[in-house]
Amino acid sequence: MQTHEISKRFTDHFTSNGHTPVPSASLILDDPNLLFVNAGMVQFKPFFLGEEPPPYPRATSVQKCVRTGDIDEVGKTTRHNTFFQMAGNFSFGDYFKEGAIEHAWKLVTSSQSEGGYGFDPERIWVTVYKTDDEAIELWRKVAGLPDERIQRRGGKDNYWDMGVPGPGGPCSEIYFDRGPSFGREGGPEADEDRYLEIWNLVFMQDERGELSPKEDHPPIGVLPAKNIDTGMGIERVAFLLQDVENVYETDLVRPVITKAEEMSGHRYGADPVDDVRFRVIADHARSGVMLIGDGVTPGNEARGYVLRRLLRRIVRSVRLLGVNEPVLGEFAKVVRDTMGPAYPELVEQFDRIDGVVRQEEDTFLQTLSSGSKIFDLAAAETKQSGSSVLPGDQAFQLHDTYGFPIDLTLEMASEQGLKVDEEGFRRLMTEQRQRSKQDAASRKVGHADGGAYRSILDNHGKTDFLGYQDLTTESR
């Protein structure tokens, strides 16, 4: 089943059950706590918080999401994209646990000819929050699930809140058992690769006080209206229904891998190290294009920096596959063709998107070429000194001053028979990270007291007010 069809079935199921279909919000919402929209519920926050009356009691959406926190998992696990689509159904004081469980169970297990996804009910496992006996009872009653396939989990996995004080509640998650060849027995608690999480149901019922963080303190009360917030990963369902190995091989992501194979002459599936690169390229190309589509441009701050990092990782990965020509324009085209049917703005705005990626790639290729000169010099010096290890501070300088990624340094060093003092490099990186964390922390505090403006002023000088504008457009 194609990804677009999976989205359509979700929307159809919930609209025919009284939910108002709401279009995806932009990846960029004006929320000071959030770099990018990372869940379907974000655009509905004011309704959940009681700040605005919901215009409908039930809603459904397929939300564009970016999770930068998952970037290091990409290509290595089977299930983490930086950009993915989260389908959700939402109840604002309308149906609660039983309704949410009924809907999810029906859509997941009813046959494909009846409009469902047709998962084998025998291979479904669920988790519930450790004290949520009510949810256990409902899973037994509604789905007939045996106790062996219902696992209790703690707050880290199965309790959700939006920061305290505020609403919170237990979650129940739905997993599909891919089978014994994919890992250990024992349910999601034992192996999250074999048991793939597809859907999270959040039962928003508690009021959490200032001093009631997860686990340690019981909630201070119950919410006047109980809400439902769910999120199902469209790419994960596609991965299972398309009988492929991971989310990167699904119909909307895999074509970029194919393009990269054509360009590089390397074959996906032939070498595990190359394969990670292929998956990173395909994932990041899609995220990059979706972000630019929503107005992000590469830069050195916040959102712009995330985009820059994604695009540069593609260029770097593709070089490690042996391609030296510009590639981003080509990849962007593939993404436009796969994602365009669901997101027509990508087609309408393609010239702009194409311009942004090409310019960023140009700049980065220049960086790479000047970095390469510095690298050659450092390599020659190392050899002259009779050593076979490129010093960590050289690798760090290449990274820090020339934006030269460490794996490229490692690869080029090994081509010349050299090693790199990686430990020294990482120590310097950690020190730098700590410094920027401290900076970020002081910026955070500063945000409330005007310190953020202070640091902009410090960076840009008093007279140049335009500098401030540039900086904010970049980080918006």
> Which of residues 25 and 429 has its CB atom nearest to ligand ATP in the complex?
25
Cβ–Cβ under 8 Å, residues 366 and 402: no
Reduce the DSSP state of residue 38 to 3 states and report it.
Answer: coil
Q: Is 78 in the site for ligand ATP (CB under 6 A)?
A: no
In whole angstroms, the minimum distance from the beta carbon of 88 to ligand ATP comes to 8
> Which of residues 55 and 69 has its CB atom nearest to ligand ATP in the complex?
69
In whole angstroms, the minimum distance from the beta carbon of 334 to ligand ATP comes to 19
Reduce the DSSP state of residue 434 to 3 states and report it.
Answer: helix
* Residues 6 or more apart in contact with residue 100 via CB below 8 angstroms: 89, 91, 201, 203, 228, 230
Q: Using CB under 5 A, pick the residue from 43, 60, 172, 200 that binds Mg ion.
A: 200
Beta strands (DSSP E) in 353-437 are 389-390, 419-420
Binding mask 238-277 for ligand ATP (x = CB under 6 A): ---------x------------------------------
Reduce the DSSP state of residue 83 to 3 states and report it.
Answer: strand
Beta bridge partners of residue 170, listed in sequence order: 159
In whole angstroms, the minimum distance from the beta carbon of 246 to ligand ATP comes to 10
> Which of residues 65 and 327 has its CB atom nearest to ligand ATP in the complex?
65
Q: Is 67 in the site for ligand ATP (CB under 6 A)?
A: yes
Instruction: Tell me the C-alpha distance between 315 and 306, whole Å.
Output: 15
> Which of residues 197 and 275 has its CB atom nearest to Mg ion in the complex?
197
Name the nearest CA neighbour of 287 among 21, 6, 37.
Answer: 37
Instruction: Tell me the C-alpha distance between 178 and 362, whole Å.
Output: 43
Judged by CB under 6 A, the number of residues near ligand ATP is 17
Q: Is 81 in the site for Mg ion (CB under 5 A)?
A: no
Binding piece for Mg ion, criterion CB under 5 A, among 192-200, 274-282, 343-351, 412-420: 192-200
Q: Using CB under 6 A, pick the residue from 42, 86, 240, 353 that binds ligand ATP.
A: 86
DSSP per-residue string spanning 138-205: HHHHHH---GGGEEEE-HHHHEEESSSSEEEEEEEEEEEE--GGGS-SS-TTT-TTTEEEEEEEEEEE
Q: Using CB under 6 A, pick the residue from 199, 268, 375, 402 that binds ligand ATP.
A: 199
In whole angstroms, the minimum distance from the beta carbon of 233 to ligand ATP comes to 2
Q: Is 236 in the site for ligand ATP (CB under 6 A)?
A: yes
- Residue numbers at the binding site for ligand ATP (CB under 6 A): 67, 70, 79-81, 84, 86, 197-200, 231-233, 235-236, 247
